[in-house]
Amino acid sequence: MTRVSRDFGNTMQRDAVPSVSADVSFVSNRFPHYRIGANNKIMEPKEGPEVPSMKDIVARETAKLIEQKKRLSVRDLASKFEKGLAAAAKLSEEVEALAVQLTKSEGDLIHEKSEVKKLANILKQASEDARKLVDEERSFARAEIENARAAVQRVEEALKEQERIAQTSGKQEMEDLRKEVQEARRIKMLHQPSKVMDMEHELRALRTQLAEKSMHSLQLQKELAMIKKLQENKSRLYVIDGSETLGSYLRITSCVDKAPDILKCSIQWYRVLPDGGKKELISGATKPFYAPEPFDVGRILQADIVSDDQTVSVTTAGPIDPAAGLGSYVEALVRKPETEFNVVITQMNGQDHPSNVVHTFHVGKMRIKLCKGRFTKAKENYSNSMQLCGVRGAGNAAPQALFWHVKKGQSLVLAFESERERNAAIMLARRFAFDCNIMLAGPGDRTPLGN
């Protein structure tokens, strides 16, 4: 039995595998994979697709990315170019539109320039015409002023002559009157009543003549004052129009066309003493019209007109005169314990009251009340909280209207049948309130000036 040495296999392998030359080049750069089959037969594996190396894969991917980047860069450039081209086209259109608009504006400017030149020529012509008109009006005004001065001078001369004649005739008439009185006394002492009656009638006639001449003299003085006021008003913007008598209706009117609209001005009326001293504000009298009330008798009325921060003052020609016969009428009513007047309520607590139902206004020695038949609508004793005056600023109905503040929270505006009735009611109520140590006046009024 033969013994096999341990190195037999190795020897066989060395003998079976020939030596490989160094010049041999292998197809693959890796060691081949073999598989030993049955009977130690070497089997080559099936050739599959060649797997690229990592370096080749990286190089290939890099090339692809570079190519893709180039394609993207060209696309972006094309997009930006298209956008720039669109923006340039839009800008070109805007420039063309702006050029058209500029051309149109230049045409409009040229047209406006020509219109301005025409307007300037028209204004220049109008200014020349206005200057000529002003010169003509100034010459007419100077002529009217000269005529007015001559008329004033003639009236002054006539007034002086009238006063001289009145003084002379007055002295003579007073002397004759004294002689007649002495003769009447002598006749009366001689018990001749018929002669005395004749003399008394003659004395009354003489007194009437003296009163008429005095009134005529006062009328002449007022006319002279009115002429002077008319001359002064030539340069004024406004004037107070209306009879300056209790029971009348005064209104502010403009004297020239250039005066601001009186309805758009701020107005305030005042009472002023005749000597031009103390001035009292008439609360609530802020309209272009005003109806004098008994407190205004013997005072000058003044209205301050404010327009565009400029104040213009207008006054009445003289003090407000009393109404004829009103004093004696009130004195007769004072003797009665109570006097009734028919009235209509036009306002109640500041709200219009359209009803025309006739009420009775009772003025008594201790209180005032308003009744409708047997029902009493308002009643209050004379007190410091009560107010009574003429309505201030109620249009042409103001001379017949009365404001009565009964007490806190209750006020009435009453319309009388006539101006005489309204003024008599105010004077009578103030007379009775004065006997109760109460000063009955209007809102904001103080004690009458001069009393």
Enter the tokens of residue 155.
Answer: 């009236």
Its CATH class, for the domain covering 235-322, is: mainly beta
Same fold yes or no, 235-322 and 324-446: no
Task: Report yes or no: 412 and 406 within 8 Å, Cβ to Cβ.
Answer: yes
Query: What residue has token string 């797997």?
Result: 51
Backbone angles phi, psi at 399, to 5 degrees: -60, -20
Query: What residue has token string 């080049």?
Result: 25
Residue 8 has a pLDDT of 44
Of the CATH numbers 1.10.1740.10, 3.40.50.720, 2.30.29.140, 1.10.600.10, which one belongs to the domain with range 324-446? Answer: 2.30.29.140
Indicate the DSSP class of residue 449: T
Residue 193 has a pLDDT of 53
pTM for this predicted structure? 0.51
- Where is 9: in which H helix or E strand? helix 8-16
Helix extents (H) in 190-342: 193-232, 326-334
Residue 108 has a pLDDT of 85
The parts of the chain modelled with pLDDT lower than 70 are 1-51, 72-75, 166-167, 169-171, 173, 181, 184-201, 211, 214-215, 218-219, 221-223, 225-235, 276, 394, 446-451
Residue 384 has a pLDDT of 92
Enter the tokens of residue 114.
Answer: 């020509």
CA distance 239 to 361: 36
Residue 393 has a pLDDT of 74
Residue 118 has a pLDDT of 87
- Where is 69: in which H helix or E strand? helix 54-189
Please list, residue by residue across 72-95, b when 16 or more beta carbons sit within 10 angstroms of its beta carbon and e when fewer do.
eeeeeeeeeeeeeeeeeeeeeeee
Enter the tokens of residue 134.
Answer: 């002003």
Query: What residue has token string 């220049």?
Result: 124
* Among 207, 276, 218, 264, CA closest to 245: 218
Length of the chain: 451
Domain ranges of the chain: 80-232, 235-322, 324-446
Helix extents (H) in 300-389: 326-334
CA distance 125 to 121: 6
